[in-house]
Amino acid sequence: MNDKAVAIVWKALDRLAIELPSWGFANTGTRFGKFIQPAAATSIQEKFSDAAQVHAVTGACPTLALHVQWDLPNGLKDVPEVERLAKQFSIRPGSINPNIFQNQEYKYGSVGNPDPAIRRMAIRHIVDCVAISEALGAPDISPWFADGSNYPGTQNIRKRIGYFEEGLREIHAALKPGQRLLLEYKPFEPAFYHTDIADWGMALLLAKAAGPQALVLVDTGHHYQAQNIEQIVAWLLHQNMIGGFHFNDRRYADDDLTLGSIDPYQIFRIFHEIRMFEWETQTTADIAYMVDQSHNLKGKIEAMIQTVCTAQELYARAALVDHGSLARLQQECSLVDAEETLRGAFWQDVRPAIQEWRKSRRLPADPMQAFRTSGYLERITRERSEKNRKTTASYA
């Protein structure tokens, strides 16, 4: 790789920040049960501590996404504690994730529930999250709605659209300047007949109905098998409506597999659309790159390090696309040469350049190795195993 290419890689890496999910360090599982890990985090303090380890070895993860019900069970009252931990571990609070899917009340939906009292409860919770976001100086609120139904004819789909428009408008009215409401879509699960926000079109229309600070969040796992995700990203960029990503990979459905483990070219193509847009418009897209994975077989911290390194590699490769020649080749419809320009960047081995970047930023050249030799995993395994042994793992 020549000096110019190395400089491009370094510049790209300096820009790429990846947010870690607090829930990615805790014991989570499948619908059928959990496999408990002795080193899993069981408190918000432990989640911050683990995230700080990933940041220490990668230098790329300055923020931690928080799930309000799991991390701030007392809502606003927990803000001072989160601020203290953020300071202690030098990790800033990231996106604020409301929880409108776990309470018994939400059996038939939250903001889309036919019962106005439950809709009110859900709206109030998200408005509380807006206040938490403001207090923490973490501007993104990203609700994921599990709302939907399981049997044809049991819910009025159009009425529920109206409830969402109304509810999101009210939530939007609570936003202060600079805050953003990121709407995530998901085709199915837990609802298996209809999901109220099932795809990017529904999310986009609802964001438009809510107001200018509402944008769409793309979880890479929330698409049907053959869907062209980079085209969705291109549309959202064109509309200035993309607010962030939840990164993971998928083989079948919302599998939350390690980013790039199944289809690295897909993630590369997404990054390429963003870089190409930025090159053409000479702007920087304001996109929050967040990981949404919780591994129950891999070690959680190692899985995060692996994910972050993969994101860096794929982002660096996308940065290497020669946008000037690609634009010309596209204009001329030189198909083979245009495709080879893209593919050529994808097949570059950027790892040596990334290692050099790490050394120049006083980071370990091999983050995984650095973590493994740090002794941290052994220490937390000792400290946490007793507590984790008592965790319930059963499904029924």
Residue 236 beta carbon to ligand RM4: minimum distance, rounded to whole angstroms: 17
Binds ligand RM4 by CB under 6 A, chosen from 71, 254, 273, 313:
254
Q: Does 292 bind ligand RM4 (CB under 6 A)?
A: yes
Q: Give the integer Cα–Cα distance in Å for 230 and 207.
A: 20
Q: Long-range contacts for 226-232 (Cβ within 8 Å, ≥24 apart)? A: 229/266, 229/269, 229/270, 230/266, 230/269, 230/270, 230/272, 230/273, 232/200
Interface characters, 271-310, with Mn ion (x: CB under 5 A) = ---------------------x------------------
19 counts as binding Mn ion under rule CB under 5 A: no
Partner from ligand RM4, Mn ion, none binding residue 97, C-beta < 5-8 Å depending on class:
ligand RM4
C-beta of 189 vs 383, nearer to ligand RM4 = 189
Count the alpha carbons within 13 Å of 15 in the hemisphere toward its beta carbon.
17
CA distances from 285 to 64, 277, 288 (A): 21, 8, 9
Residue nearest to ligand RM4 (CB): 144
Q: Rule CB under 6 A: is residue 273 a binding residue for ligand RM4?
A: no
Residue 385: alpha-carbon gap to chain centroid: 28
Which of 46, 134, 196, 254 binds Mn ion (CB under 5 A)? It is 254
Residues 189-248 that bind ligand RM4 (CB under 6 A): 219, 246
Would you say 219 or 273 has its CB closer to Mn ion? 219
When the beta carbons of 24 and 167 are compared against ligand RM4, the nearer one is 24
Instruction: Give the three-class secondary structure for 245.
Output: strand
Size of the site for ligand RM4 (CB under 6 A): 8
Q: Please pick, from the candidates 49, 53, 63, 97, the single residue that binds ligand RM4 as defined by CB under 6 A.
A: 97
Alpha carbon distances (Å) from 305 to 27, 58, 174, 218, 254: 17, 7, 36, 22, 21
**Percent helix / strand / coil, the chain, rounded to 5:** 50, 15, 35
> Tokens 């690295």 label which residue?
264
Q: Which residue has the tokens 């993971």?
A: 248
User: Could you list the residues that contact Mn ion (CB under 5 A)?
Assistant: 219, 246, 254, 292
Q: What residues line the site for ligand RM4 (CB under 6 A)?
A: 97, 144, 184, 186, 219, 246, 254, 292
